[in-house]
């Protein structure tokens, strides 16, 4: 990034967040077309037929208010809708309904860490708008195909201040915005479904002189945000170094080739002929309405981070849990930890098991694991507390139980049958210890002459003979007793 320190990159990001509603922004068509045939979740409003009247969906407004709160600001109590005109086959009305002069959100901020350093990026604005249809361009033919199922999906476009200066910051911002929106319950946030799409504006300034920016559109992963920014910084520096000017343009990202390409010369704001939409009266929010939404907000991202910190987890573990809780939402990792904590069970131990065993296993199996986690972790924690399980074998037991379709009725019995319980019956261990001591007179002599290291060797022998089931601390105790009290050895 710092290949040439005379250049300072500046990055601003626009993010289109699809709002998690049942129906579309202005029509009663279903907003979930994941399993629908093309052009089935559509009606006269989405098709832009003459005389069709758009009516605002209250839930879209509620979710925008939640987004405002997640962005550490309050929503605007007065907002209006405008028409943004341009002609494209995926936009049947010939204009997009959006908010131009009076957006629902002005201001706000996103805080995150990059390489351990805290970074705050300001939010310029966020506005509600309708998504366009989806077009595809089959190979080797001279036509494109349009599916309007997506037309009219409610979007919140969040515009950041141009306050990022590296690809790493851009990536971290995108990820934090994603987490904020997911935890606020604003969006389904499935990136590969395009639930959140990022446009990155990149410019490089030379010796403090502002440069021309390019916009790379429709990035749908944090990695592509990072890579596209990296590529653009490098490309623009090369353009300037070779004595040319960077063109203001819209570019596309070719993931397979890891590069950007010119897409179109962008229309100017004037060309969109923005005008107030006469079909949609202004929206005024009651402060009580906003307060009620604030009260009903799900636990925020920062709440959970603080909770996990309080339990003594480190940053790395916290972020793994924060993400996995979204990726495998039916596992309810965070509430599980919270439940154990409120019952006074060592929640940190449970969290460690989740991070080290459960989550890696869930990733491997794409989340197909036994869902009775409350039972599994309660029983294993208890067996460990009672010293019936070694810490190694507790991990093994969890790994096995999570992969069972049905849990055994008696988990203790199951662990015993699988040879996972440790032997805490001193009679049995004593027998083995006696055998081992007899067979290893050299080690016994060493210990007697003060070589304490040899005791480890003997414990190892006992563990081996007991197939790992002897309780190690009990074994050590027995060996020490034998050697001090029994002159036979």
Q: What is the contact surface with another protein in residues (CB under 8 A)?
A: 21-23, 27-30, 37-44, 47, 49, 55-61, 80, 86-89, 135-137, 141-148, 267, 271, 276, 278, 280-284
For residue 467, what are the contacts with CB-CB under 8 A and spacing of at least 6? Answer: 419
Dist CA 48 CA 54 (whole Å): 9
Least distance CB 144 / another protein (angstroms): 5
Taking the C-alpha atoms of residue 333 and residue 434, their distance in angstroms, rounded to an integer, is 46
Cα distance between the two ends of the chain = 69
Give min distance, CB of 145 to another protein, in A: 4
* Shortest separation between residue 92's beta carbon and another protein, angstroms: 9
Q: How near is the Cβ of 75 to another protein at its closest, in Å?
A: 14
Comparison of 54 and 108: residue with beta carbon closer to another protein = 54
Choose between 127 and 482: whose C-beta lies nearer to another protein: 127
Nearer to another protein, 30 or 426 (CB): 30
CA distance 286 to 455: 75
Instruction: Sort strands 109-114 and 275-276 into parallel, antiparallel or unpaired.
Output: unpaired
- Residue 149 is given by DSSP the state G
- Closer to another protein by Cβ: residue 90 or 161: 90
Least separation in angstroms between CB 93 and another protein: 14
Q: Which is nearer to another protein, 143 or 192 (CB)?
A: 143
* Shortest Å, Cβ 202 to another protein: 22
CB of 239 to another protein, least distance (A): 24
Q: What span, in angstroms and rounded, lies between the C-alpha atoms of 400 and 379? A: 14
- In the complex with another protein, which residue's Cβ is closer, 142 or 427? 142
When the beta carbons of 85 and 395 are compared against another protein, the nearer one is: 85
- How far apart CA 317 and CA 432 sit, in angstroms, is 41
CB-based contact 252:220 (threshold 8 Å):
no
Q: Is 483 exposed, middle or buried (0-12, 13-18, 19+ CB in 10 A)?
A: middle
- Six token digits for residue 69: 């709160």
Asked if residue 124 lies in contact with residue 139, where contact means CB atoms within 8 angstroms, the answer is no
Nearest to 454 by CA among 466, 441, 470: 441
């Amino acid at each position: 990034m710092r290949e040439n320190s005379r250049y300072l990159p500046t990055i601003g990001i626009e993010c289109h967040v699809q709002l998690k509603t049942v129906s579309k922004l202005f029509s009663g068509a279903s907003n979930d077309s994941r399993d629908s045939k093309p052009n089935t979740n559509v009606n006269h409003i989405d098709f832009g037929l003459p005389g069709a009247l758009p009516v605002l969906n209250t839930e879209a407004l509620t979710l925008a208010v939640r987004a405002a709160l997640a962005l550490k600001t309050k929503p605007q109590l007065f907002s209006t809708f405008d028409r943004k005109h341009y002609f494209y086959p995926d936009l049947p009305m010939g204009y997009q309904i959006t908010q131009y002069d009076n957006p629902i959100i002005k201001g706000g901020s996103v805080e995150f860490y990059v390489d351990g350093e805290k970074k705050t990026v300001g939010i310029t604005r966020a506005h509600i708008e309708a998504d366009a249809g989806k077009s595809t361009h089959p190979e080797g033919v001279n036509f494109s195909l349009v599916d309007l199922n997506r037309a009219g999906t409610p979007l919140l476009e969040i515009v950041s201040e141009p306050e990022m200066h590296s690809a790493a910051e851009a990536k971290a911002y995108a990820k934090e915005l994603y987490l904020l929106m997911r935890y606020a319950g604003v969006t389904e946030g499935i990136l590969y479904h395009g639930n959140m799409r990022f446009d990155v504006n990149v410019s490089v300034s030379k010796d403090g002189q502002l440069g021309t920016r390019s916009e790379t559109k429709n990035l749908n992963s944090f990695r592509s945000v990072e890579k596209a920014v990296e590529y653009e910084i490098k490309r623009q520096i090369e353009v300037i170094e070779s004595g040319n000017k960077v063109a203001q343009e819209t570019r596309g990202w070719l993931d397979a080739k890891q590069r950007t390409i010119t897409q179109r010369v962008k229309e100017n704001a004037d060309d969109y002929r923005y005008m107030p939409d006469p079909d949609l009266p202004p929206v005024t929010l009651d402060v009580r309405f906003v307060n009620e939404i604030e009260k009903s907000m799900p636990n925020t991202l920062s709440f959970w981070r603080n909770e996990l910190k309080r339990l003594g987890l480190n940053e790395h573990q916290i972020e793994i849990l924060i993400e996995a809780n979204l990726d495998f939402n039916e596992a309810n990792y965070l509430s599980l930890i919270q439940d154990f904590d409120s019952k006074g069970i060592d929640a940190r131990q449970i969290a460690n098991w989740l991070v080290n065993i459960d989550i890696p296993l869930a990733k491997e199996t794409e989340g197909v694991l036994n869902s009775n986690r409350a039972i599994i972790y309660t029983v294993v924690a208890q067996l460990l507390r009672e010293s019936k399980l070694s810490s190694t074998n507790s991990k093994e037991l969890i790994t096995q139980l999570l992969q069972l379709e049905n849990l055994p009725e008696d988990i203790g019995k199951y662990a015993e049958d699988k040879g996972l319980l440790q032997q805490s019956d001193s009679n049995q261990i004593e027998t083995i210890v006696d055998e081992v001591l007899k067979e290893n007179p050299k080690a016994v002599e060493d210990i007697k002459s003060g070589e304490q290291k040899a005791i480890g060797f003997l414990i190892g022998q006992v563990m081996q003979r007991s197939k790992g089931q002897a309780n190690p601390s009990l074994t050590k105790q027995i060996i020490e007793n034998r050697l001090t009290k029994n002159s036979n050895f």
